[in-house]
Chains A and B, each alone.
Chain A
Amino acid sequence: GDSVTQMEGPVTLSEEAFLTINCTYTATGYPSLFWYVQYPGEGLQLLLKATKADDKGSNKGFEATYRKETTSFHLEKGSVQVSDSAVYFCALSDQKGGSEKLVFGKGTKLTVNP
Chain B
Amino acid sequence: EAGVTQSPTHLIKTRGQQATLRCSPISGHTSVYWYQQALGLGLQFLLWYDEGEERNRGNFPPRFSGRQFPNYSSELNVNALELEDSALYLCASSFGLGQPQHFGDGTRLSIL
Interface membership of A44, Cβ < 8 A: yes
Interface membership of A103, Cβ < 8 A: yes
The answer to whether B42 touches A107 (Cβ under 8 A) is yes
- Interface members, chain B 26-69 (any A CB < 8 Å): 31, 33, 35, 42-43, 45, 48, 50, 55-56, 58
The answer to whether A43 touches B100 (Cβ under 8 A) is no
Of the residues B45, B55, B98, B106, contact of A43 by C-beta under 8 Å: B106
Chain B residues near A106: list those with CB within 8 A. 42
Interface membership of A113, Cβ < 8 A: no
Chain A residues near B104: list those with CB within 8 A. 43
Chain B residues near A107: list those with CB within 8 A. 42-43
Q: How many A-B residue pairs have CB under 8 A?
A: 59
Q: Complex: how many Å from CA A93 to CA B31?
A: 14
Interface SS of chain A: strand
* Size bracket of the A interface: 20 to 34
Interface membership of A102, Cβ < 8 A: yes
Q: Complex: how many Å from CA A41 to CA B102?
A: 16
CB-defined A-B contacts under 8 Å, sample of 16: A36-B103, A42-B105, A43-B6, A43-B103, A43-B104, A43-B105, A46-B101, A95-B98, A100-B33, A100-B50, A100-B55, A101-B33, A101-B48, A102-B43, A102-B101, A105-B42
